Chain A
Amino acid sequence: MKMALVADDSRAIRGILSRILVRAGFDVVQVENGRAGITLMQQDARTFSLVCADWNMPEMNGLEFVKALRSDTRFQNTPVMMITSETHIDRMETALRYGVSEYVTKPFTEAVILEKLQILHVAD
């Protein structure tokens, strides 16, 4: 089973996104901030084939989370989708510079997510 990690501080968003990913064949683990995400991934024996991260989260935000992921050799190539309501183009550039693979703005639709999964080669 493909594993995906969803990091977002909103339960509602985590729920919506997780349902889409489950339908797309993922086993989804949810966390509410970047700190919980990196801790879980470093301790978990399973391989995550996708990480979806919000930008604005308490404790550790999405950018710091991606930075932490990329500085760990195990996660250097893990596809990371940043899903945020930060719509400004500067923000998008910053995120990509930090090592985000795909940038999705909220609100998203199922079709958008599925398309990004194709681009990232993690769809079935």
Chain B
Amino acid sequence: MVLDEDVREFLIESNENLANLDRQLVELEERPDDATLLADVFRTVHTIKGTSGFFGFDKLGGITHVAENILSQLRDRQRELTPQMASLILESVDAVKAILTNIEATGQEGDNAYPDLRQRLEAAYRGETPALAQKSPGVAAAVVAAVAAAEPEVPAAAAEPALKPVEALPAEAKAKGEESMPSSSTLTDSTIRVDVHLLDKLMNLVGELVLARNQLIQDTSTESSHQSGASQRLNLITTELQEGVMKMRMQPIGVVWNKLPRVVRDLASGFGKKIQMEMEGAETELDKTIIEAIKDPLTHIVRNSCDHGIEVPDVRLRRGKNATGRILLRAFHEGGHVNIEISDDGGGIDAEKVKAKARDKGLLRPEQIAEMSARDATQLIFLPGFSTAEKVRPASAALEGGHSL
């Protein structure tokens, strides 16, 4: 009854929903009374549970079942969401992701049934103090280590499906789909999935077409002074085609941003800091290649803000700031470019420290450093090899918009 195709659909839609789940759970901690948000979170877990039964994915079904039970208690207002419970649910989400990765790679769920996690989930469901292991970091680490040693490690293969959704024109596509109903099963979905490689190929072909058109226009214009109607139309259609293909590759920057609140949450609790993340312009669209390219640098900058920028609550209060630090992500169009800004209300960059580091690393001569302004010194962090970690990029780096590509 079940086809490979169904499993593939299940993996794609589950991965899509899970990508949102991390963000939604973090938001839920901030707004525990948001019924719509809670309903979304519940539905995602519920859908995975419901569908996994068809494929005999029992481990997946087991974990999502207990997680769903807890979520339904929250939904029915039988209990409040505590940070421990949120951590437990996030942990379940990670387990679900790991199992889905296994299924994608091997078709099987893998050997790890997460007995420890399930036990803690069930204890939490029964109302016992949830996540005993999480109360003290020492014990948590020991349990995690024990679990890691006892059970085979999950391969960290790319969990991202090869297919990405492409937004079609919803209204038109829908109308057409419903009118021209063939006799067999018909989909009225307003979006379709297209293999990225297919888009890349289309993009290359359009590139070739543009070259050919330019050649043709050059040839015809030397032969006769006026362009024929046909070549004018060819010119116009080619331009529109090129723009259309470009548009197909656009994705909202929110796709990348969605992953960050979870990163920030985990880092903040690790450092004993309180950090709130805000986003503006998540719907701003960028070409897919750019989205891919900025993913890692963006995460790095945000991590950097959590790590070095935002101070611990004590220090912040002493400096007269709110105990909760703030990281703001902004994306906006300006003069044909897309600007992405990442700012935090932390301590800023200590110019003297930067100078000292530059001197130690021998990046500049001492006399150069001595006469350097604080502003110039700050720029030193962008020198390759300055940080021992990866390359750092300017926080307000202006990235080329899809148009100019």
A32 to B174, CA, bound (A): 12
Q: Is A20 an interface residue (CB 8 A)?
A: yes
**Contact present for B1 and A20 (CB under 8 Å):** yes
Determine the residue in chain A with the shortest Cβ distance to B6. A12
Q: CB-CB contacts of B366-395 with A at 8 A, as 1s and 0s? A: 000000000000000000000000000000
Residues B6 and A107 in contact, CB atoms below 8 Å apart: no
Q: Which of B1, B13, B42, B46 contacts A16 (CB 8 A)?
A: B1
Binds B, one of A21-29, A69-77, A95-103, A116-124: A21-29
**B214 touches A (CB below 8 Å):** no
Given contacts A10-B13, A15-B6, A107-B53, contact A29 B1 (CB under 8 A): no
Partner-binding segment picked from B120-128, B182-190, B346-354: B182-190
Chain B CB count within 10 A is highest, among A40, A57, A85, for A85
State the Cβ distance, A91 to closest chain B Cβ, in Å: 10
Decide if B10 is an interface residue (CB 8 Å cutoff): yes
A56 touching B9 in the complex, CB below 8 Å, given contacts A27-B184, A40-B188, A110-B1: no
Q: Count contacts on A: residues with CB < 8 A to the other chain.
A: 31
Bound together, the chains give a CA A84 to CA B72 distance in angstroms of 15
Q: How far is the CA of A57 from the CA of B50 in the complex (A)?
A: 12
Find chain A residues with CB under 8 A from B10 CB: 10, 12
Partner of B1, one of A36, A85, A109: A109
Question: Are A13 and B54 interface neighbours, CB within 8 A?
Answer: yes
B188 touches A56 (CB 8 A): no
Instruction: State how many angstroms separate the Cβ of A42 from the closest Cβ of chain B.
Output: 13
A9 and B189 contacting across the interface, CB-CB below 8 Å: no
List, in ascending order, chain B residues with CB within 8 A of A20's CB. Answer: 1
Contact A58 B43 (CB under 8 A): yes
B290-344 contacts to A (CB < 8 Å): none
Q: A78 in the interface, Cβ–Cβ < 8 Å?
A: no
Closest Cβ–Cβ distance, residue B244 to chain A (whole Å): 25
CB distance from A111 to the nearest CB of B (A): 10
Q: Mark B45-69, 1 if CB is under 8 A from A, else 0.
A: 0110111011000000000000000
Binary A-proximity of B29-53 (CB < 8 A = 1, otherwise 0): 0000000000010110011011101
Q: When A12-B6, A13-B54 are in contact, do A56 and B185 touch as well, CB less than 8 Å?
A: no
Residues of A within 8 A of B53 (CB): 85, 106-107
A11 to B47, CA, bound (A): 11
Q: What mask results when residues 1 to 45 of chain B are scored 1 for a CB within 8 Å of chain A, else 0?
A: 111011101101100000000000000000000000000101100
Closest residue on chain B to residue A37 by CB atoms: B188
Whole-angstrom distance between the alpha carbons of A18 and B42 in the complex? 25
Least CB distance from A31 to B in Å reads 6
CA distance A13 to B181 in the complex (A): 21
Question: Which residues between 1 and 56 of chain A lie within 8 Å of chain B, taking CB atoms?
Answer: 1, 9-13, 15-16, 18-22, 27-32, 36, 40, 44, 56
A29 to chain B, nearest CB (A): 6
B189 touches A30 (CB 8 A): yes
Closest B residue to A106 using CB positions? B50
Shortest beta-carbon contacts, A-B, top 7: A85-B50, A107-B53, A12-B10, A12-B9, A107-B54, A106-B50, A28-B185
* Complex A-B: 17 CB contacts under 8 Å: A10-B50, A11-B9, A11-B12, A13-B51, A13-B54, A15-B6, A15-B9, A16-B6, A22-B184, A22-B185, A27-B184, A27-B185, A28-B186, A36-B188, A58-B40, A58-B43, A85-B46
A residues sitting closer than 8 Å to B (CB atoms) are 1, 9-13, 15-16, 18-22, 27-32, 36, 40, 44, 56-58, 84-85, 106-107, 109-110
Q: Other CB < 8 Å A-B pairs besides A12-B51, A19-B1, 19 of them? A: A1-B183, A11-B12, A12-B9, A12-B10, A12-B54, A13-B54, A16-B54, A27-B181, A27-B184, A29-B188, A30-B185, A30-B186, A40-B178, A44-B178, A58-B40, A58-B43, A85-B53, A106-B53, A106-B54
